[in-house]
Chains A and B, each alone.
Chain A
Amino acid sequence: MTYLDPMIRLLPPIHEQDHCQGRKEAQLTLVEYGDYACLQCVQAYPLIRSIQAQFSDICFVFRYFPCVDRHPSAQHAAEAAEAAAAQGKFWEMHDRLMRQNQLLDDASLIEHAIALKLDINRFLCEMSTDFHVVRVLSDYNSGIKSRVSCTPTFFINGCQLTGDWHPSALQTAIEQFLS
């Protein structure tokens, strides 16, 4: 059973630094705390794309929540996404990491960066100096504040979708919310 819990709020609310698709003032805001190495996040990915196609006025935000104890490659994958963001290609990298989530080792991350035609020297430099660790950690900490404990965890208009995760639960929750 999944339900929207108005008592568990998104902290902080959507802000300027978030990776966001759609306008922040949209009627429907959907925030995902996700981990690129998490199979449930990968399962949720096409569903989110479908929801975005279905609802015109929607804002989708992705925040990093790498569960490194279960998925050691998740941290570097998040940093690679952030390194791509620094070069204006967050969503392109996000899509690649979600679609090819079996390829998250450091060597594969470099190949993703090459495929996206990023400035490779800058990418390597930022990855090897842990340049984006703080940003990833900031998202992770916001998840902790928002009582996120596993991935994917979603917030619909600032309220957490709570309960056992299954893909249809998100669609149902959104439909119920809008009705």
Chain B
Amino acid sequence: MISLLLISQTLLNYMAAPQVEKTKPLTVRLSTRELEVLKFLAEGLSNKEIALALHLSPNTVKTHVRSLMNKLGVDHRLQVVVLALRHNLI
């Protein structure tokens, strides 16, 4: 039940967030590791699964995801994927 509530809240946060800018060019530079994490995010892997795939700790993955969100100026990991697809980053 808690996890369901968390998921619902996450989705509500995503829906409430401003829509990802489609036309503004991206000027950010992503590290190789961030690009690897991004690719796995787009494949629907959780932080734990990404950590296993890249031989990293879940906390390190979390840091990379946060860094991606900061660099891309979004509030949710799914927005990272949407923005990355719109700008052909992956």
Mostly, the B contact residues are helix
Question: Could you tell me how many residues of chain B have their Cβ less than 8 Å away from some Cβ of chain A?
Answer: 16
Chain A residue with Cβ nearest B82: A107
Which of A34-42, A49-57, A66-74, A112-120 lies at the interface?
A112-120
Let me know if B42 is at the binding interface, CB within 8 A.
yes
Q: Nearest Cβ distance between residue B27 and chain A, in whole angstroms? A: 19
Q: Which residues of A lie under 8 Å from residue B11 when comparing CB positions? A: 114, 117
Question: Do A121 and B82 form a contact, CB below 8 Å, given A114-B11, A114-B14?
Answer: no
Mostly, the A contact residues are helix
B15 and A128 contact, CB distance less than 8 A: no
Chain A residue with Cβ nearest B87: A107
A125 and B43 contact, CB distance less than 8 A: yes
Q: Give the residue of B20, B44, B83, B85 whose beta carbon is less than 8 angstroms from that of A121.
A: B44
Q: Which residues of A lie under 8 Å from residue B46 when comparing CB positions? A: 121
B44 and A128 contact, CB distance less than 8 A: yes
Let me know if B86 is at the binding interface, CB within 8 A.
yes
Q: Give the residue of B41, B44, B78 whose beta carbon is less than 8 angstroms from that of A114.
A: B78
Q: Which residues of B lie under 8 Å from residue A95 when comparing CB positions? A: none
A68–B20 alpha-carbon span in the complex (Å): 27
B14 and A105 contact, CB distance less than 8 A: no
Q: Which residues of B lie under 8 Å from residue A117 when comparing CB positions? A: 11
A123–B41 alpha-carbon span in the complex (Å): 12
Q: Nearest Cβ distance between residue A61 and chain B, in whole angstroms? A: 29
Contacts of B67-81 to chain A: CB distance below 8 A: 78, 81
Could you list 15 further interchain pairs (A-B, Cβ under 8 angstroms) beyond the known A128-B42, A128-B44? A105-B85, A105-B86, A106-B85, A107-B85, A110-B81, A110-B85, A114-B11, A115-B15, A122-B44, A124-B42, A124-B81, A125-B43, A125-B44, A125-B45, A128-B43
